[in-house]
Amino acid sequence: MGAQLRVYKRRIRSVTATKKITKAMEMIAASRIVKAQRQVAASTPYATELTRAVTAVATGSNTKHPLTTEADAPSRAAVLLITSDRGLAGGYSSNAIKAAERLTERLRGEGKEVDTYIVGRKGVSYYGFRERKIEDSWTGFTDSPTYADAKRVAGPLIEAVSTETAEGGVDELHIVYTEFVSMMTQNPVDNRMLPLSLDQAAEETGTKGQILPLFDFEPSAEDVLDALLPRYVESRIYNALLQAAASEHAARRRAMKSATDNAGELIKSLSRLANAARQAEITQEISEIVGGASALADATAGSDK
């Protein structure tokens, strides 16, 4: 019985140590969410105004450009998937991967080849374990991305969009990431970045139904679009990285809180079992003492006779 009590005590100490770790991770994630939310709020107006500028240029010109013009028969698409570098975030990465899988199936069902680009070690590991081809990948910055990281990710994608399909380029560019809605809600979404849908852009910027001003372009509308293309892609990717980072921290905080609560419940359960084992041990000792005293009394009474 004493050995069983020692087992319970050892497990209680182990779970208590784990609870301290998960509680610390929960507090760290909660503190990082605030910073990530501020970054999202700061980057969104820039991305919105840049989209508004691209919409104005595209509406005021008839120039065919990969930023705004759809191919007659698109045959190849690029998908950028944003996951996390670290685990312990519940279903955050797996939900984004599932959304990317559904998007890939839909694009292939439309007869398009899909080139996959991945941000985050979780996505890279998932595709690598299944021996699926990855065009390019980036890791090491998912929990705190910078604009320089977004530029590094955008470079190969812009090059692929600017290249003819026959030479290995793509006709469409899609992005899959987790949108931060609130501390409790984060939704995996897939958006088509290129070519830009003017109706969708108008809805995003709040200009649908409004009359846009007329512009004169110098040196030409095509040159303006060439200049805006990398800025547009970089800003959209940067905003998506920030949204994903905020979602990752929120998911990790929620997962660690659940783990902390479960550890507390397990400690209570083990404490009850330990108390029961200790009570049984005490009861057994008392029974042995009473039994020994009774035997001694019987022996003494027999010798007196």
Global confidence as pTM: 0.82
Amino acid identity, position 246: A
Handedness of CA 98, 122, 187, 250 (dihedral sign): positive
Using the 8-state DSSP alphabet, how is residue 187 labeled? E
pLDDT tens column, 25-42: 999 998 888 888 888 888
Mean pLDDT, residues 146-174: 90
Residues above pLDDT 90, as percent of the chain: 45
Q: Is there a contact between 101 and 260 (Cβ–Cβ < 8 Å)? A: no
Q: Distance between alpha carbon 108 and the CA centroid of its chain, in Å? A: 25
The set of residues, in sequence order, having a beta carbon less than 8 Å from that of 227 and lying 6+ positions away, is none
Which token pair is 70?
A: 């759809």
| Tokens of residue 144, six digits | 């705190």
Tell me the pLDDT tens digit for each residue of 71-95. 778 889 999 999 999 988 889 999 9
Residues 6+ apart with CB under 8 A from 210: 202
pLDDT in tens, 227-249: 888 888 899 899 999 999 999 99
Q: What's the confidence (pLDDT) of residue 244?
A: 94
Q: Is 179 helix (H, G, I), strand (E, B) or coil?
A: strand
CA gap 210, 44 in Å, rounded: 21
Q: Which residues pair with 77 in a beta bridge?
A: 114, 172
pLDDT of residue 42: 87
